[in-house]
Structure 1
């Protein structure tokens, strides 16, 4: 398939938060941006008239677009920052001081300090963040200071020096902000209990701390310190609305490649995230066409080798969703929990969006390939012997047993074939018997197709559960078609798919294309049937009385209704007016009928 045009790329961008990248004709990245809604933001570049000359030049130079989907706006902001620093695109503003986002450091030392920093060192300390606002950092540090009495000095509090009395308590101790570990007035174990609680706060577990903070707010309010209570309340609101952890950056995860795969009957899609110094610096998805029904493991092993060579990756560790064989020199990790798992999930999410994007592109550029893929997927999902190129779906419609009708809709290659839709007026069933009605229409439909030697469908779908399905099966048995056509029933409430002679229903993924096509068939049959039912009720309500007059048929009624618009006006019309439309004989019958009433 040829490279998608810019117009098609724009159509397939999702309504999700993320980062977009613009490339010129030489495939050089020229701009990186973030967005709460990628589709709206990127589309605006091409639909608005820009006052800024540089923006107009930028838009003219855009040859292709790539995007990376993330969880939140905060993630998008951080990822944008990383990519701008990595690639230095021509049209992005580069900060002269190379400003970095702030972190909170939990220092690796005896009696650890907690402080903010913009520099991350590999010294064994714990770093939390990055944070997109210093206000959040100050709020967190202030919260910690208000709850726990930690030292703020930078003394080297070794056991020997403390025992030798090298240090003296400072003003912080006398103010009640520190317990005096410098003079041995606080044990390491007691201090580390507070550090453990602080670590939970920085990880985003605010439950216990917020409870204490709310208690503190109530206490100062009772003491009439309303300004202080309001200040504490604002901190609580900031903390409650803040997402403490970012899925984009984690300093402990460094020099790692992340790979994930999504596949269907014909293709595999492998996403690659490259992490350097705890930050994502590259995202790439590779599409692989299957040749011999390869497994996901085979495709992933092939793709990892190809991608690592293409991007000259020297990472010693990779994260993957399942075990792969790539030699002994490379460390393979299968994440189960925490940050590593979230990063792998982000990779999977990007692979899924890439696959969806390609589906949309293929649908526009190559509809035959799209239909082939969908048919192959339906065959697998529904456990069919052949691809359901021709599908027919039946639905009954009646209201309180009046005017029972049924509808049959036809799909060819996953698309409606409206010229082949058929309505059925129920002829042999008295009252609202959906089971008997279904048996009748299925028999009539396929008896006619057999008599006229027309093509039979590969799949029949019955809108209803086991009862409706059993009724349809009776008709297929009578016609000798039971083993020639696959048939399933779909129950509305839980979207359960029922098969003949199988008591256990099949449940498809709610987002699967197979289920979406089945739902579209069911909804179309329902719409088509209701439309016919409505027309019958309407016609019946208007014309029943006229058609009871001897010698007055349907065509006469239609002609009169077109002229007079209502039965009441017809009943009040003069003989000469009726004669002009339906002739003297019929006009007399109508006038005599209403006179006799």
Structure 2
């Protein structure tokens, strides 16, 4: 692998810049590699791969039929960098590594950086059932990945009902002296206190693994045989427990809305659809022969990509650092099908099949995925039209510039001044932008002083933006009345950002939705829009989202502070004893619920200290 860079000062003359680029192209090799288009400030504009670097890079400057997006990009290119690799497959890997790392503005991007969730059966002596994200450990058994965390959590609840496997953390499991609530509601067999033999618990684990592997029919047959044998031996209570398991498994099977006739099949179904200039990919997952859900993905910078190109970009980006199922069913066929198949096979260290022309039930799955992608585009277009209409109505009602697009909203949340958190949510490009949300932990103020909290949050936010580290909003919404708004005005003047419009959103006299009053900066004039006004609906949506985001952060901060402070305030409970208590009872709530005798079982806790802890936490 070797690098080559076009080193030259930026040219103001487009013709001189073109000649410089053509001279650089002539020196490129006829070898596979990756090229990077850079702007004058060093920003990477585009990353691409090529079988022949000279031919591919040269095509940008020797042809005139480029799309508007590419033509715009070429006017900004000042430098080109290339990296030679050994094969097209290597080029594909490097290209997508760079796209993920650099997020170039002219590459199609699938912004889905979170790892997909798994259901894990741990490799402990007494295995645990758990939700998991992250790198895989060979000591455990993983099932998935799944399209959403909800699917995993629902699966865990179902498996708890049937197999009663433990889900508690190891520190809790190792220090239990009595069964927990899950045992009392018949969701755990309580192996922590030996209410089930290791052999019987292992049998339940094996049965759960059979079910997760899609071998439900085999499992049901085995359970029915076991139930019949226990009945013949007059062990009716044990037979009844097996009967309940069989009935629960049958109910779970009935809930599967799609199933495969092929046991143990793991497959991903990916369909790319382009309608009305919008690209959508539907990713559906089949695990153990069961359809476990799907999700729709809308890439950015995809204006002039066709379905096949978008699908290839998704497959390369999505599976770059993830588990690849044995079968990927897709539509349409990606342009470099053989290269992708080779790449995924090498990554998985086993054979991977990419099937773009399936038959039977697999074709039904694929048609379902295409239909879901098409419906998602229609819903997105409808939502965008609705949001666009709301924004336009708000612009007209408030007298904002016609091109106003970005709105930021702030809210403060605390409990009697404790654990104050400020939130900033962003509306831009016609929708809520969750990736741009920010929370601010407020410190160094008088508890309960909302004005000081708002001042601190706004200052921290807009000092950076005034320094050029962010995008200046067109409208700033402050959840509050004239006092909060005056504080915001003072901050904007101090940081040197007078241009954003400032509006206070004050609750009406009865604090009911629809009676909000909009307070204008400077004049403090008040406007109350009709309840059915689309612009008011947009403000309510953004304001409510700011409130939700603030209170979620506040609750998390408050809970963390209370866990630490409650035990720290008790004389005689130092860091080591605090750690032992939390480990023994599984957290602060467990310590609060423990009796004096239970507390005395912890190493280093005398009767006197146990009584003091009990009184402090119950008081």
Select the structure of larger CA radius of gyration: 1
TM-score by length of 1: 0.33
Q: TM-score, normalised by structure 2?
A: 0.32
